[in-house]
Amino acid sequence: MNVMGIDAGSGQPLRAPDLAGLAAAIVANGKPKATQAMGVPAGMPPNRLEKTGWAVVWGEDVSPDIKAALAPLLAVRREEAGKLFKELTWSPADSARSWLKLQFAGDTVDPRKVPYYTLLVGSPQSIPFERQCELAATGYAVGRLDFGSDVAAYARYAEGVRAAAAARPSPRKIGFWATRHDAATIASHDAFALHLAYGEKDATEPWQKPAGALHGFVPDVRLNGDAKKTELLGLLRQAPALWVTASHGIGVAPTDGDPKQLQGALLTQDWPGMGVPVADQLLAGADLGSGQNLLGSIGLLMACFGAGTPGADNFPWASQEERAKSSAYYAGSPFVAALPQRMLSLESGPALGLVAHVDRA
């Protein structure tokens, strides 16, 4: 097994964890509750915030200036959600369960207590990634904004949401970009991206057709040899309503660069499959200039560390030696990746949202 990552200093695949240990840990956690569902609760319309609710949850490291910068976003959501708009706070000591109890909320989503759509604002030090995951597993749609102390970045995102809500809907285009280098990316290319882009060969049933076509999306497909850096930048310049990438993400040890700027950068098809990746073979946050416009778009980045990095490696390992080698990518302090931060704070038009992996894929 290869995980979806390449080491920035060697060009070698990131080490895979102990699969037997990982399977044992999953089994030990037991089966999920029969009522657990990842999606809008039954009978709740997903696109009506006055029914689902919307909440902002402030971390303790969020300054008054950041709250003021996000005022345009809150104004839009307050108007849409009405009585089910909420402003809440989080303490780092809280687990998801204890925090829900403080809101008088139980195991079932009740938007009168905690809205279904919940935006966490703050660093993973103030609201840990693990708590975000726990809250999502409970049944809430959970997002996060973290631009550090960059007040202007928060303001750009808020203005982007307001502008997108007031503008015409984005063209119904869906972009696919996927590399094909090795066993891991061959699998993600052939069984994931290729399947989503083109559907089943000789499809006879509606569900066998391309996913986007079922909802009226026009595809823009850039796979395998076309999955170069210039092609990805070209795809993003079109700001499709939805875009999907599948590739290796870069793991960066402190001796090989700045993890906070490069970890999770996307490895493009320009990389020949061996050797140390260079800047022209990566898409990093710094590659997106002030003229880039992703207004109204939503992206899915399938890559190691694509959304961020936890403070420590939580995967099981077969030996302490392997764990020590893996620990180079974990600095003890969790952080959000620079690429999604940049995409969500572009001067000419930030993306509405991104879905990506925290830790290895």
DSSP per position, 155-183: HHHHHHHHHHHHSPPPPSEEEEEE---SH
Strand (E) or helix (H) holding 229: helix 229-237
Mark whether 259 and 187 lie in a shared domain. Answer: yes
- In whole numbers, what is the pLDDT of the chain averaged over residues? 91
State yes or no: pLDDT of 34 exceeds 80: no
How far apart, in whole angstroms, are the C-alpha atoms of residue 146 and residue 72?
Answer: 17
DSSP 43-101: T--TT-HHHH-EEEEE-TT--HHHHHHTHHHHHHHHHHHGGGEEEEE--TT--HHHHHH
Mark whether 246 and 305 lie in a shared domain. Answer: yes
What tokens does 335 get?
Answer: 């952080």
Whether the CB-CB separation of 178 and 227 falls below 8 Å is answered with yes
Last residue of a domain, one of 142, 166, 190: 166
Mark whether 248 and 221 lie in a shared domain. Answer: yes
Domain that holds residue 116: 49-166
Rounded to 5 degrees, φ, ψ at 128 are -60, 150
Lowest mean pLDDT among 19-28, 39-48, 149-158, 349-358: 19-28
Mark whether 148 and 181 lie in a shared domain. Answer: no
Lowest mean pLDDT among 112-116, 203-207, 229-233: 203-207
Res 306: pLDDT: 96
DSSP 202-220: T--SGGGS-TTGGGTPEEE
Residue 4 domain flag: no
Q: How confident is the model at residue 1 (pLDDT cuts 50, 70, 90)?
A: very low
What tokens does 337 get?
Answer: 């990746």
Residues in the chain: 361
Burial 23-61 (b: 16+ CB within 10 A, else e): eeeeeeeeeeeeeeeeebeeeeeeeebebbbbbbbbbeb
- Average pLDDT for 270-290: 95
3-state SS, residue 243: strand
Strand (E) or helix (H) holding 144: strand 141-145
- Average pLDDT for 47-53: 94
Residue 7 domain flag: no
Mark whether 155 and 175 lie in a shared domain. Answer: no
What is the number of other CB atoms lying within 10 angstroms of the CB of residue 167? Answer: 11
Mark whether 209 and 313 lie in a shared domain. Answer: yes
Residue 155 domain flag: yes
* Per-residue pLDDT reduced to its tens digit, 139-170: 999 999 999 999 999 999 999 999 998 887 66
Residue with tokens 């499709």: 240
How far apart, in whole angstroms, are the C-alpha atoms of residue 189 and residue 32?
Answer: 30
The residue that leads in pLDDT, 57 or 47, is 57
Whether the CB-CB separation of 357 and 304 falls below 8 Å is answered with yes
Residue 10 domain flag: no
Q: How confident is the model at residue 325 (pLDDT cuts 50, 70, 90)?
A: confident
What tokens does 107 get?
Answer: 């195991």
Whether the CB-CB separation of 192 and 302 falls below 8 Å is answered with yes
Mark whether 253 and 345 lie in a shared domain. Answer: yes
Say how many Å lie between the first and final Cα of the chain, rounded.
12
State yes or no: pLDDT of 199 exceeds 90: no
3-state SS, residue 232: helix
Whether the CB-CB separation of 144 and 341 falls below 8 Å is answered with no
State yes or no: pLDDT of 11 exceeds 80: yes
Residue 80 sits in a domain whose CATH number is: 3.40.50
Res 220: pLDDT: 94
Residue 23 domain flag: no
How far apart, in whole angstroms, are the C-alpha atoms of residue 170 and residue 28?
Answer: 45
- Average pLDDT for 62-67: 97
Q: How confident is the model at residue 2 (pLDDT cuts 50, 70, 90)?
A: low
3-state SS, residue 143: strand
Whether the CB-CB separation of 99 and 109 falls below 8 Å is answered with no
Mark whether 125 and 176 lie in a shared domain. Answer: no
Residue 244 domain flag: yes
Last residue of a domain, one of 166, 200, 227: 166
- Average pLDDT for 290-299: 92
For the chain, the domain total comes to 2
Q: How confident is the model at residue 33 (pLDDT cuts 50, 70, 90)?
A: low
Res 338: pLDDT: 97
Whether the CB-CB separation of 260 and 302 falls below 8 Å is answered with no
Mark whether 254 and 301 lie in a shared domain. Answer: yes
Mark whether 176 and 301 lie in a shared domain. Answer: yes
What tokens does 361 get?
Answer: 């894929």
Last residue of a domain, one of 134, 166, 198: 166
Lowest mean pLDDT among 157-166, 205-214, 323-332: 205-214
Mark whether 179 and 162 lie in a shared domain. Answer: no
Res 300: pLDDT: 97
Residue 24 domain flag: no
Q: What pTM, to 2 d.p., does this model score?
A: 0.92
Res 31: pLDDT: 62
Residue with tokens 């070698």: 12
Question: pLDDT above 70 covers what percent of the chain?
Answer: 96
State yes or no: pLDDT of 279 exceeds 60: yes
- Average pLDDT for 75-82: 96
Residue 26 domain flag: no
Strand (E) or helix (H) holding 301: strand 298-302
Mark whether 69 and 155 lie in a shared domain. Answer: yes
State yes or no: pLDDT of 316 exceeds 90: no
- Average pLDDT for 63-77: 97
- Average pLDDT for 74-87: 96
